[in-house]
Amino acid sequence: MTEDIMIRRDRRAGRITLNRPAALNALSHQMALSIAAALTEWQDDPEIALVIIDAAGERAFCAGGDIAALWHAATAGDHEVGRRFFADEYRMNAQIANYPKPVVAFMQGFVMGGGVGVGGHASQRIVGDSTQVAMPECGIGLIPDVGGSWLLARAPGRIGEYLGLTGARLGPGDAIHAGFADRYIPEGEWPAAIDRLAESGDVGTLPQHPAPPAPLEGADLSAFGGAQVADITAALADAGNEGALTPLRRNSPLSMATALAMIRAARGDRRIEQSLAREYRFSHRATAQADFVEGVRAQIIDKDRKPAWAAPSDRAAVDAMLAPLGTRELDWQRDEG
């Protein structure tokens, strides 16, 4: 346990609280390891009936992974820091998705990237009025990872392609409609709901409320059925959809082309581990071969918002980023290296 994350027992619940509100609860490597260790400890504990994951502060459940450290290491020539982080994070994501006890996540404010990896695979995913869910990785030269391709592949219609390529934000109703959340509860009721869960160990105590409206339910996203990003861009231009075109013109071409291929490949996956392993092939190579270092520089380090994308984005480049890693393929035991 670190000061950035609070892990404790509360009656019949295991409690995990992300505790970096000033940093929008950005997920560090140590936080990911702490979550995994707690889940392992509680898995066979008869006194723990369920796990509750929440976060301190009002602005964010978790706005993403703490990737500045990865950038600093990569620019110094060390790509193993990022590879170890991604591997351990993805294993934790799969652990949550496959956990034998209920995991209830209360997700307020920003739920982005790594935050989706923590909350988006829980068995009960609670959203409130402030919730904004997004997978904006293509804007930093990464791809929708942490099991994001698995979730996007299971969204209705072409919502997955739309969200993955644009990084658009989902309010609570759209998050439920797209399959990133299960239940809406007004945030003022969350403390009492958490107290009942801890006391009873029963997810049946969660209150029922109608889901808010989901604007995406009636949206025409047929353009995102295009075979390639260029086809999607052309269709959006023909339709005059500047709102969707703007992020496509801004994001990394390689990231978008790879995300499109990954979301569609994930539709054939039977287990989240298959999607995570595919995502890891990209992220393993990302700091050395893709636009990730430049994207993080532009968005997070220098904040000039003017990335100079340089990586090729043709089919051969996508295939190279998703090619098997041989002995470096993601396995499901923690890498001690």
- Residue 298: what pLDDT? 95
Region 182-208: mean pLDDT is 98
How many CB atoms within 10 Å of residue 8? 11
Provide the residue ranges of all domains of the chain, joining segments of one domain with +.
5-328
Confidence band for 90, pLDDT divided at 50, 70 and 90: very high
CATH top class, domain 5-328: alpha beta
Region 176-199: mean pLDDT is 98
- Residue 332: what pLDDT? 81
Percent of the chain's residues with pLDDT above 90: 96
Confidence band for 25, pLDDT divided at 50, 70 and 90: very high
What tens digit of pLDDT does each residue of 228-284 get? Answer: 999 999 999 999 999 999 999 999 999 999 999 999 999 999 999 999 999 999 999
Backbone angles phi, psi at 6, to 5 degrees: -105, 120
Question: What is the token pair recorded at 171?
Answer: 């309010």
What tens digit of pLDDT does each residue of 316-325 get? Answer: 999 999 999 9
**CA pseudo-torsion sign 45, 47, 48, 49:** positive
- Residue 3: what pLDDT? 87
What tens digit of pLDDT does each residue of 136-166 get? Answer: 999 999 999 999 999 999 999 999 999 999 9
- Residue 334: what pLDDT? 59
Confidence band for 1, pLDDT divided at 50, 70 and 90: very low
Residue 107, pLDDT above cutoff 90: yes
Residue 337, pLDDT above cutoff 80: no
Percent of the chain's residues with pLDDT above 70: 98
Region 176-196: mean pLDDT is 98
Region 1-26: mean pLDDT is 93
Across the chain, mean pLDDT equals 96
Region 210-217: mean pLDDT is 96
Confidence band for 336, pLDDT divided at 50, 70 and 90: very low
Positions marked catalytic: 65, 114, 137, 145
Non-local CB neighbours of 53 within 8 Å, separated by 6+ positions? 16, 17, 18, 35, 103, 104, 105, 106, 118, 119, 122
Burial bucket for residue 189 (CB in 10 Å: 0-12, 13-18, 19+): middle
Residue 77, pLDDT above cutoff 50: yes
